Amino acid sequence: MTNEEFNQFCKSLPATTYVVQWNNSHVWKVGGKVFAIGGLGSKHERSHATSLSITFKASDLNFDFLSDQPGYIPAPYFASRGMKWIQCVESGGELDEETAYYLKESYRIVSLGLTKKKQRDLGLNQ
């Protein structure tokens, strides 16, 4: 998956905002809260040209499951602080159904964590 595909997908979700921060990472937010980060991963991974790594929030169950799957790791910064975030380090090819599912799920989890007023103001979870 390319940065462009990642950004197009995240942009298609309601009430999202975009910013480039943290070492030129593509950061997507809903209600001011991060739900997805696309970037070139670690220094080791950057030597492999344009491999995009995608970081997203996960449910407890998905975090436990994905932590043991090839191509996924607990997100270095977030997981080390006890947060349930996963990094997909092998996103070969186009956006697939699995990646789309986890990005939508991250968006859902984060949007449900917003105050009811913020959710109403953004037209979410009605």
Q: What is the pLDDT along the chain (126 residues), one digit of tens a residue?
A: 778 889 999 999 999 999 999 888 999 999 999 999 998 755 444 444 456 899 999 999 999 999 999 989 999 888 788 899 999 987 665 568 888 999 999 999 999 999 999 999 999 986
Q: Is residue 113 part of a domain?
A: yes
Q: Is residue 105 part of a domain?
A: yes
Q: Is residue 123 part of a domain?
A: no
CA distance 2 to 51: 8
Residues of the domain holding 29: 3-118
Q: Is residue 81 part of a domain?
A: yes
Q: Note the pLDDT of residue 93.
A: 58
CA distance 93 to 97: 12
pTM of the model: 0.87
Q: What's the structural domain count of the chain?
A: 1
Q: Is residue 125 part of a domain?
A: no
Contact 19, 36 (CB under 8 A): no
Q: Is residue 78 part of a domain?
A: yes
Q: Note the pLDDT of residue 79.
A: 79
Q: Is residue 88 part of a domain?
A: yes
Q: What is the CATH number of the domain that holds 40?
A: 3.90.1150.30
Q: Note the pLDDT of residue 48.
A: 43
Q: Is residue 84 part of a domain?
A: yes
